[in-house]
Structure formats: structure tokens, C-alpha cells
């Protein structure tokens, strides 16, 4: 899609705000994030029509945009066997054109005529396709509507069959806003006695009380846990002020944020309560219990199970719940970026517990160290089929102490890697783990590895760079990882040709799409008819890595690297949007398949996708994602002065 998204037309602020409010109230736009609503509102055009005006003609008009009815009524007419019949009346909030674009080669499936004077918003097809790729819930609205429209009308043989209208009223747990679930909690001033605060808390039957300042603004919170730990256990006087035991500063979240963001915020901060901001005022509190009761399998609950696990068997039980959790979140409309964040938070917590257990068993480490994560773990992009890629970096020591120190960390690394394998995170097939003596080294040796990979002619160096240059701290001393990053960036500036070799290597691989736009599939073997979605995604990973290394960006996540490259001026907004949307869509399809294989079929997951098993909308979105990756490769070729491979 060239020139995508199109530049927004000039709209006054009041009209723009009104468009946003209208779109947020109606499906499928209510499934979109707020920033996406703002983009759509800025890009739609407003048109006014008189009664009797025909907007589209069945099987004749080529659809260039979808229409959203703003006011008035439109009738959708179907012609069959030479007879016309009114299929349905489109009232304000209804859309038309999406099914034609997705399932009928862009040709109108119906005739659309104005019953009354009408005003509509027109959204161009480029932006429409972008939204379908970016939001699975948005895309599923049209897919569901298409299949409902193709079925007989609900009757005795089809009790409760959802039609398109019914689908519009469905609202998933994760796409609700925090405002939908927040509840009012009691409050007191910082000077209120602990005794009085406890009375108020008990009377309210809540689990916390907000502590406000002189202007009645929430500044802290006292939970029932604070009362037990800070008052009862510490023997504090109940006449002391509540401000002395409050938890501050508050962990807050905006009332307009999606519930899913609240889940992630709780997980990141290890808290059970979030204060809600609503246009600068007290918007109440959302609690872990609210979220847990709203869904039977909670990521917050699961991560807390891991935190309190006392054995490998308990951790293994927790980890086994992950595929089912991801399946539930996919069904709820979660974006892939949220799914990988959930998986990362859970596997990071699992590693933390395993490290604590291993150190307790091995004894305290002789020097500072960092347990470092590489590959997809290093990028915070784990899926349900992620093996271990890790290493240990320890402080440099005197030569006569090095063997003893190395032996300790090699034993520790072996214990950790074997325990992770026992829990369910399998050993690396190529032994790139902290249990391998090669990857359990002092900081100086790791810097030497980087020097050798950058300066040598070893053909394996690009493979190693693709794994070991995506690293982050998993457990231990952050300063060691920072030192390694700074050394790497310094070396790359001295050898800029290395990045050109990396770019050239990427161009030897192409997305699985032929010149004529057809999928390039496996022709034999057990994967016949499939394509390797991981290999296609790797092209985006490699693209983002090159610009991150060029710009000395320590961030390892693919999307965040692309955002950093845009901020530094290395890529434009269109490239950022196109690649981020494509990568997120591919990740979603990959996770969906893996979760289905593990939780429903009980089979080992893999990365081969069968396009024949996808819906037509999913196949079209998949092709669009591959086209965007191919376009990005062209930019790489120009930026690094490379010829076609």
C-alpha cells in the first residue's frame, strides 16, 4: 500500500472530537485503541447525500472506501433472480464496504441507497486494511458479519445464532476500559489516625483506603496488608497518622486505558491495587480481585503463583497453564504485543525464582554476575515455542582466582538451565546456554567475543551476532550488561562495514511470496503446504537490529527498536507503521497456532503456518504483511548501497 496511511484532511478541533466520540461508541471501531481512533477520525471524510441517492451498485461498483452512517438511513438491497429485496436498513453507527473489500475482490456485494437525507463518514481502503492488520478484533467483526450474512436467518433450527448485529454488541473483557471496572474506595487524610482509617476501611468492606492531601488529591494508599505488616507485626501505635504507613507514591493508571494495560501494570509493579486517574480527578481504584473475578484464568494470579512457588514442581504446574492462558487472551481480542509481554513477565518471574533456588542451593556467588538472555528472550518476544538462549557474565577477577570463580558459575549455570528444562523451557539445540563453558565467561572475554565477531571473516559471525547482539539482563548485576553494550557500540563504530555485511545477509532471504503475489509453500514432507512464519518475522527482527546497532540503541525489542530508529530519523513514519503492523500480525498468527496446538490438540508446537487453514481475510492480511517486509528490504538496500542478491 503506497502512501499509507493517507494524510489527514484539515478538520477543526470540535469536529475532530465529535468524530472520535461517535466512532468510540460503535463497532468495530470500539475495538480499537484510543490512538487508533484518533487516526481514523482525522482520516475520514464527511459526505452528505439526498434521499434516493445510490452510493454503490451490486457487482458493479469498485469499492474505494467504506462508509460509516453518521445520520439518516441507508438501505442495503440485494438482487437475486432479477428481483430486488431490501436486505437490511443501516442506521447511524453501521458500516458498509468492509465485506466487499475483504471477500469480494473490492466489488460491492449489494446496492446501497439513501432512504432519507444522510451523512456518512468515508474511510479509504488503505486505512481500512491497516486497521484489519493491526486489530484482530476489528478484522473479526467483518469476518463474523460475512459468515452470519451467508447463513440462513435465525429460526427454530438455529436457536441463538449470532448475526452481525448481535456481534456488534459483544465486548471482550480486555477491550473494556479501566473506567468500566474501577470502583470508588474510601479515603482519609494523611493526618487521620491509623485506628480511624482502619475503622473506615472495615466499614467500607474494601481492601484499601486512599490517603489524600489538603486538596483532596490521592497521594498514597493504605491496604489491609499494610495494616497487618506495618502496624500489627511492627507494634506501631494505632494513634499514629495513616500517612506514616501509606504506600507512596501511588501506582496509577488512566481511566481511558484498556483493562489489559491494568493487568500489565500490576504485573510489572507487583501490586494488587491501581489508583485510577480520570481527567486529573480521583477515578476510583481497580484491584487484582476485580480482574481475577472478571476472568477465570488471570495472568496476575498466575505470576503471583510463580512468585510464591516453593518447588520446581509448583513452577512446572504454573508454566503448564501458560498455553491455555494465551488461548483465552487471544479469544478476548488481546494484541500480540500484549501477549508477548505477558509471556515475558511470566518467564522472567519463573527465571527469578529458579535463580533464587539455585543460589540458595549453591551458596552466595563469589563475585557480581549477570545471567543474560539472548534471542527472542533477549528481545522480550518469547512465544510458546521458545528454547533457552542464555549465558553468564561475571566480573573479572585475579588470574589465580578465575578457575574457582568459573567453576562456581558453571555449576550454577548448569543447575539453572537443567531446572528450566525440567519446568518446560527446553534446552537450546545448539547448546547456547550458561551451562556451556564457552558461554560462562568473565566480562573481558565477552568483550573479546564481540571484537572477534565484528572484525573476523568467520562466516559464522553473522549467525552469532544475530543471537548474541540481542541481549538483556535476566538476573543479577545491570552494570555488567551496560558495560557490554557500551563496548559493543564502540567496536561497531570502529568497524562500520560490519553492519553492511549484516544488511547484505538479510537480502539473501525473501518473504514467502512469489512475484505474482502467491504464497511460496513447502512442496514435500510433513510441512507440505505450509510456510515458515518465523523466518518471515526474522527479516523484521534483523532489519530493526541493524538500525538499533547503528544508532547505539540498547533496547532489544523489535517494535521498540523500530520506534527508536524513527526517532533518530533512520526510518520514516510510514516504514515504522508498516513494519510494526506486519510484525504484530505475524506474531499474532504464530501465537494463535502455537496456543491451539498445545492447549487443544496436546501436540508440540511449531512455526509452520498452513494458509489453507486461514480465512480469506487472514490470508489477505498475511500477504500484505509479506509485501511490507519486501518493501522494507528495498530501503535497506538503498541505505547500505547494496545490489540485488
Q: Residue 235: give its domain's CATH number.
A: 3.10.580.10
Residues 481, 565 within the same domain: no
Of 436, 467, 490, the last residue of a domain is 490
> Residue 463: inside a domain, yes or no?
yes
Residues 468, 322 within the same domain: yes
The residue-averaged pLDDT of 500-517 equals: 87
Residues 197, 79 within the same domain: no
Which pLDDT belongs to residue 10?
57
Cβ atoms 393, 443 nearer than 8 A: yes
**What are φ and ψ of residue 367, in 5° steps?**
-145, 170
The residue-averaged pLDDT of 70-82 equals: 83
> Residue 64: inside a domain, yes or no?
yes
Q: Residue 28: give its domain's CATH number.
A: 2.60.120.10
> Residue 263: inside a domain, yes or no?
yes
Residues 303, 332 within the same domain: yes
H or E, element range at 264: helix 259-269
Q: Which band of pLDDT confidence, cut at 50, 70 and 90, is reported for residue 614?
A: confident
Q: Which band of pLDDT confidence, cut at 50, 70 and 90, is reported for residue 162?
A: very low
Residues 393, 273 within the same domain: no
Of 438, 469, 490, the last residue of a domain is 490
Of 116, 135, 170, the last residue of a domain is 170
> Residue 7: inside a domain, yes or no?
no
Highest-confidence range of 147-151, 324-328, 488-492, by mean pLDDT? 488-492
The residue-averaged pLDDT of 534-554 equals: 94
Which pLDDT belongs to residue 161?
24
> Residue 504: inside a domain, yes or no?
yes
**Can you give the length of the chain in residues?**
645
User: For 62-66, 149-153, 531-535, 536-540, which range has the lowest pLDDT when averaged over its residues?
Assistant: 149-153
Residues 409, 523 within the same domain: no
* pLDDT for 147 beyond 80: no
Residue 569: count of CB within 10 angstroms of its CB: 8
Distance CA 281, CA 283 (A): 6
Q: Which residue has the higher pLDDT, 158 or 121?
A: 121
Q: Which band of pLDDT confidence, cut at 50, 70 and 90, is reported for residue 453?
A: very high
Residues 280, 314 within the same domain: no
Question: Across all residues in the chain, what is the average pLDDT?
Answer: 84
Residues 313, 425 within the same domain: yes
Which pLDDT belongs to residue 152?
34
> Residue 160: inside a domain, yes or no?
no
Highest-confidence range of 213-217, 282-286, 345-349, 353-357, by mean pLDDT? 353-357
Residues 333, 443 within the same domain: yes
Among residues 405, 376, 410, the alpha carbon closest in space to that of 392 is found at: 410
> Residue 607: inside a domain, yes or no?
yes
Q: What digits encode the pLDDT tens for the residues 398-411?
A: 999 999 999 999 99
Q: Which residue has the higher pLDDT, 409 or 259?
A: 409
User: For 3-12, 267-276, 427-436, which range has the lowest pLDDT when averaged over its residues?
Assistant: 3-12
> Residue 2: inside a domain, yes or no?
no
Q: Which band of pLDDT confidence, cut at 50, 70 and 90, is reported for residue 332?
A: low
The residue-averaged pLDDT of 239-261 equals: 87
Number of compact structural domains in the chain: 4
Q: Which band of pLDDT confidence, cut at 50, 70 and 90, is reported for residue 171?
A: very low
Q: What digits encode the pLDDT tens for the residues 335-360?
A: 787 788 888 888 998 999 999 999 99
Q: Residue 558: give its domain's CATH number.
A: 1.20.120
Residues 456, 334 within the same domain: yes
Highest-confidence range of 62-76, 395-409, 628-642, by mean pLDDT? 395-409
* pLDDT for 169 beyond 50: no
Residues 609, 483 within the same domain: no
- Give, as one character, the DSSP assignment of residue 110: S
Residue 234: count of CB within 10 angstroms of its CB: 9
Distance CA 138, CA 140 (A): 6
Which pLDDT belongs to residue 571?
94
Q: What digits encode the pLDDT tens for the residues 371-388?
A: 999 999 999 998 887 789
Q: Which residue has the higher pLDDT, 612 or 11?
A: 612
- Give, as one character, the DSSP assignment of residue 607: S
Residues 479, 505 within the same domain: no
- Residue 549, domain extent: 496-645
* pLDDT for 231 beyond 80: yes
The residue-averaged pLDDT of 444-453 equals: 94
Residue 357: count of CB within 10 angstroms of its CB: 18
Q: What digits encode the pLDDT tens for the residues 203-212?
A: 887 889 999 9
Distances (CA, A) of 581 to 141, 381, 585: 18, 15, 6
Amino acid at each position: 500500500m503506497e502512501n499509507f496511511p493517507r494524510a489527514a484532511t484539515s478538520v477543526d478541533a470540535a469536529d475532530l472530537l465529535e468524530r472520535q466520540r461517535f466512532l468510540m461508541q460503535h463497532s468495530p471501531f470500539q475495538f480499537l485503541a484510543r490512538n487508533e481512533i484518533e487516526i481514523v477520525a482525522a482520516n475520514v471524510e464527511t459526505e452528505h447525500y439526498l434521499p434516493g441517492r445510490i452510493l454503490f451498485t451490486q457487482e458493479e461498483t469498485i469499492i474505494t472506501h467504506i462508509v460509516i452512517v453518521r445520520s439518516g438511513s441507508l438501505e442495503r438491497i440485494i438482487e437475486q433472480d432479477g428481483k430486488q429485496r431490501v436486505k437490511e436498513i443501516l442506521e447511524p453507527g453501521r458500516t458498509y464496504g468492509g465485506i466487499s473489500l475483504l471477500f469480494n475482490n473490492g466489488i460491492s456485494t449489494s446496492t446501497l441507497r439513501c432512504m432519507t437525507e444522510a451523512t456518512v463518514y468515508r474511510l479509504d481502503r488503505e486505512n481500512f486494511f491497516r486497521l484489519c492488520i493491526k486489530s484482530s478484533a476489528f478484522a473479526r467483526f467483518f469476518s463474523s458479519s460475512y459468515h452470519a450474512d451467508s447463513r440462513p436467518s435465525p429460526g427454530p433450527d438455529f436457536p441463538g445464532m449470532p448475526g452481525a448485529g448481535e456481534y456488534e454488541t459483544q465486548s471482550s473483557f480486555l477491550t473494556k476500559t479501566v473506567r468500566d471496572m474501577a470502583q470508588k474506595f474510601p479515603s482519609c487524610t494523611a493526618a487521620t489516625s491509623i485506628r480511624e482509617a482502619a475503622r473506615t476501611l472495615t466499614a467500607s468492606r474494601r481492601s484499601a483506603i486512599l490517603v489524600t492531601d489538603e486538596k483532596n488529591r490521592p497521594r498514597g494508599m493504605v491496604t489491609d496488608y499494610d495494616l497487618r505488616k506495618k502496624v500489627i507485626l511492627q507494634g506501631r501505635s494505632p494513634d499514629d497518622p495513616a500517612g506514616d504507613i501509606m504506600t507512596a507514591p501511588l501506582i496509577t493508571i488512566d481511566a481511558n486505558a484498556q483493562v489489559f494495560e491494568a493487568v500489565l501494570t500490576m504485573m510489572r509493579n507487583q501490586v494488587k491495587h491501581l489508583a485510577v486517574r480520570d481527567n486529573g480527578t480521583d477515578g476510583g481504584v481497580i484491584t487484582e480481585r476485580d480482574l481475577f473475578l472478571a476472568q477465570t484464568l488471570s495472568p496476575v494470579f498466575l505470576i503471583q503463583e510463580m512468585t510464591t512457588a516453593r518447588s520446581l514442581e509448583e513452577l512446572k504446574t504454573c508454566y503448564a497453564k501458560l498455553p491455555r492462558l494465551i488461548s483465552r487472551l487471544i479469544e478476548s481480542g488481546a494484541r500480540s504485543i500484549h501477549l508477548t509481554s505477558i509471556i515475558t513477565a511470566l518467564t522472567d518471574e519463573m527465571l527469578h525464582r529458579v535463580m533464587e533456588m539455585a543460589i540458595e542451593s549453591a551458596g552466595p556467588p563469589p563475585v557480581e554476575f549477570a545471567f543474560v538472555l539472548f534471542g527472542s528472550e533477549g528481545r522480550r518476544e518469547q512465544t510458546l515455542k521458545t528454547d533457552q538462549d542464555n549465558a553468564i557474565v561475571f566480573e573479572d577477577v585475579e588470574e589465580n582466582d578465575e578457575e574457582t570463580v568459573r567453576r562456581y558459575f558453571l555449576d550454577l549455570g548448569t543447575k539453572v538451565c537443567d531446572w528450566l528444562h525440567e519446568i518446560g523451557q527446553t534446552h537450546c539445540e545448539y547448546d547456547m546456554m550458561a551451562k556451556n563453558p564457552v558461554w560462562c565467561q568473565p566480562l573481558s572475554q565477552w568483550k573479546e567475543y564481540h571484537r572477534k565477531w565484528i572484525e573476523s571473516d568467520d562466516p559464522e559471525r553473522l549467525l552469532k551476532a544475530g543471537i548474541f547482539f540481542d541481549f538483556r539482563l535476566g538476573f543479577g548485576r545491570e552494570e555488567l550488561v551496560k558495560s557490554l553494550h557500551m563496548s559493543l557500540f564502540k567496536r561497531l563504530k570502529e568497524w562500520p562495514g560490519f553492519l553492511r555485511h549484516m544488511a547484505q545477509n538479510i537480502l539473501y532471504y525473501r518473504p514467502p511470496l512469489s512475484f505474482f503475489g502467491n504464497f511460496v509453500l513447502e512442496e514435500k514432507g510433513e510441512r507440505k503446504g505450509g510456510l515458515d512464519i518465523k523466518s518471515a518475522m526474522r527479516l523484521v527482527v534483523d532489519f530493526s537490529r541493524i538500525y538499533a546497532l547503528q544508532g547505539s540503541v540498547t533496547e532489544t525489542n523489535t517494535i521498540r527498536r523500530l520506534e527508536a530508529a524513527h526517532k533518530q530519523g533512520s526510518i520514516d513514519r510510514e516504514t515504522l507503521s508498516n513494519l510494526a503492523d506486519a510484525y504484530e500480525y505475524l506474531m499474532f498468527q504464530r501465537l494463535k497456532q502455537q496456543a491451539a496446538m498445545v492447549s487443544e490438540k496436546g501436540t508440540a508446537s511449531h512455526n509452520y503456518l498452513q494458509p489453507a487453514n486461514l480465512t480469506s481475510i487472514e490470508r489477505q492480511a498475511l500477504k500484505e504483511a509479506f509485501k511490507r517486509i519486501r518493501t522494507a528490504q528495498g530501503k535497506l538496500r538503498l541505505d547500505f548501497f547494496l545490489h540485488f542478491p
